[in-house]
Amino acid sequence: MDFLGPTLLIVIGIIFSLLFVFFIKKISRKQEERADQFEQEVLASDWSKSSRKNK
């Protein structure tokens, strides 16, 4: 039964690290979506400016 404590700590550590990685990926995906949306807005505003100049 002496090995139960360290094994439990290792298992808990692995679970927490997996949860941490999962949340980091989720957050980075949200930031990526925001960056894509911002990029689309910037491209749209650049396109509208250039279309006004061409008229």
* Distance separating alpha carbons of residues 50 and 27, to the nearest angstrom: 35
Of 7-11, 15-19, 39-43, 49-53, where does mean pLDDT reach its minimum?
49-53
Residue 43 phi, psi (nearest 5): -65, -40
- Tell me: the pLDDT tens digits for 21-34? 999 999 999 999 99
* Distance separating alpha carbons of residues 26 and 18, to the nearest angstrom: 12
- Tell me: the pLDDT tens digits for 8-18? 999 999 999 99
In the chain, pLDDT over 90 holds for what percent of residues?
Answer: 55
Per-domain residue ranges of the chain:
22-50
